[in-house]
Structure 1
Amino acid sequence: MEKKGEGTFSIILLALIQGILASGAVEVHPSINPAKVGDTVNLSLSPSVVMKSGNWAVGDSVILSWVGDQQAVFPSHNGRASVNVVTGALTLSSVTVADSGVYVVQSTDPQLKANVSITVLETVSNVTIRVSPQTNLMEFNGSAVLTCAVSSGSSLSFLWMNDSAVVTASDRVQLTDGNSTLTIVNVTRYDQGPFTCHAFNLVSNGTSDPVNFTITYGPDNMALTVNGQNTTSFSPGSNLTMLCSAQSNPPAVLQWVVRGALVNTTGPLLELISVSKEQSGPYSCLAFNNHTNMNSSITTNIVIGDLSSGSEQQEVSVWLLPLLLLFGLF
Structure 2
Amino acid sequence: MDKKREGTLAIVLLALIHGVLASGAVEVQPSINPAVVGGTVTLSLSPSATLNSGSWAVGESLILTWLGDQQAVFPSHTGRASVNVLTGALTLISVKVADSGVYIVQSTNPQLKANVSITVLEPVSNATLRTTQTNLMEFNSSAVITCSVSSGSSVSFLWMNHSSEVTAMDRVQLTDGNSTLTIVNVTRYDQGPFRCHVFNPVSNATSDPVNFTISYGPDNMAITVNGQNTTSFTIGSNLTMLCSAQSNPPAQLQWAYRGELVNTTGPLLELFSVSEDQSGPYSCLAFNNRTDMNSTITTHIMIAKSGSEQQAVSVWLLPLLLLFGFLF
TM-score by length of 2: 0.90
Q: Kindly state the Cα deviation for residue 146 of structure 1 after the two structures are TM-superposed.
A: 1.3
Structure 1 residue aligned with 2:224: 225
Q: CA separation in 2, counterparts of 1:25 and 1:48?
A: 11
Structure 1 residue aligned with 2:241: 242
Structure 2 residue aligned with 1:55: 55
Q: Deviations over 1:36-74 (max 9, x none)?
A: 101101111111111111111000011111111111111
Q: CA separation in 2, counterparts of 1:279 and 1:82?
A: 99
Structure 1 residue aligned with 2:13: 13
Structure 1 residue aligned with 2:144: 145
Counterpart residue identity of residue 195, structure 1: F
The answer on whether the counterparts of 2:244 and 2:267 sit within 8 Å (CA) in structure 1 is: yes
Secondary structure of the corresponding residue to residue 126 of structure 1: strand
Q: Kindly state the Cα deviation for residue 275 of structure 1 after the two structures are TM-superposed.
A: 2.2
Q: Kindly state the Cα deviation for residue 105 of structure 1 after the two structures are TM-superposed.
A: 0.6
Q: Kindly state the Cα deviation for residue 302 of structure 1 after the two structures are TM-superposed.
A: 1.1
Q: Kindly state the Cα deviation for residue 94 of structure 1 after the two structures are TM-superposed.
A: 0.6
Q: CA separation in 1, counterparts of 2:171 and 2:211?
A: 18
Q: Kindly state the Cα deviation for residue 306 of structure 1 after the two structures are TM-superposed.
A: 6.3
Paired residue total: 306
Secondary structure of the corresponding residue to residue 65 of structure 2: strand
Q: CA separation in 2, counterparts of 1:306 and 1:181?
A: 66
Counterpart residue identity of residue 250, structure 1: P
Q: CA separation in 1, counterparts of 2:272 and 2:201?
A: 69
Q: CA separation in 2, counterparts of 1:166 and 1:224?
A: 37
Structure 1 residue aligned with 2:287: 288
Identical aligned residues as a percent? 80
Q: Kindly state the Cα deviation for residue 191 of structure 1 after the two structures are TM-superposed.
A: 1.5
Q: CA separation in 1, counterparts of 2:7 and 2:35?
A: 50
Q: Deviations over 1:83-113 (max 9, x none)?
A: 1111111111110000000000111111111
Q: Which has the larger radius of gyration?
A: 2
Q: CA separation in 2, counterparts of 1:184 and 1:105?
A: 52
Structure 1 residue aligned with 2:154: 155
The answer on whether the counterparts of 2:234 and 2:305 sit within 8 Å (CA) in structure 1 is: no
Q: CA separation in 1, counterparts of 2:119 and 2:65?
A: 23
1:70-219 matched pairs, under 5 angstroms: 70-132=70-132, 134-219=133-218
CA-atom RMSD in angstroms: 1.4
The answer on whether the counterparts of 2:156 and 2:200 sit within 8 Å (CA) in structure 1 is: yes
Q: Kindly state the Cα deviation for residue 204 of structure 1 after the two structures are TM-superposed.
A: 0.9
Q: CA separation in 2, counterparts of 1:75 and 1:197?
A: 42
Structure 1 residue aligned with 2:313: none
Q: CA separation in 2, counterparts of 1:165 and 1:275?
A: 52
TM-score by length of 1: 0.90
Q: Deviations over 1:115-146 (max 9, x none)?
A: 000000111111111112x1111111122221
Q: CA separation in 2, counterparts of 1:29 and 1:278?
A: 94
Secondary structure of the corresponding residue to residue 287 of structure 1: strand
Counterpart residue identity of residue 287, structure 2: F
Q: CA separation in 2, counterparts of 1:306 and 1:240?
A: 15
Q: Kindly state the Cα deviation for residue 265 of structure 1 after the two structures are TM-superposed.
A: 1.3
Q: Kindly state the Cα deviation for residue 25 of structure 1 after the two structures are TM-superposed.
A: 0.7
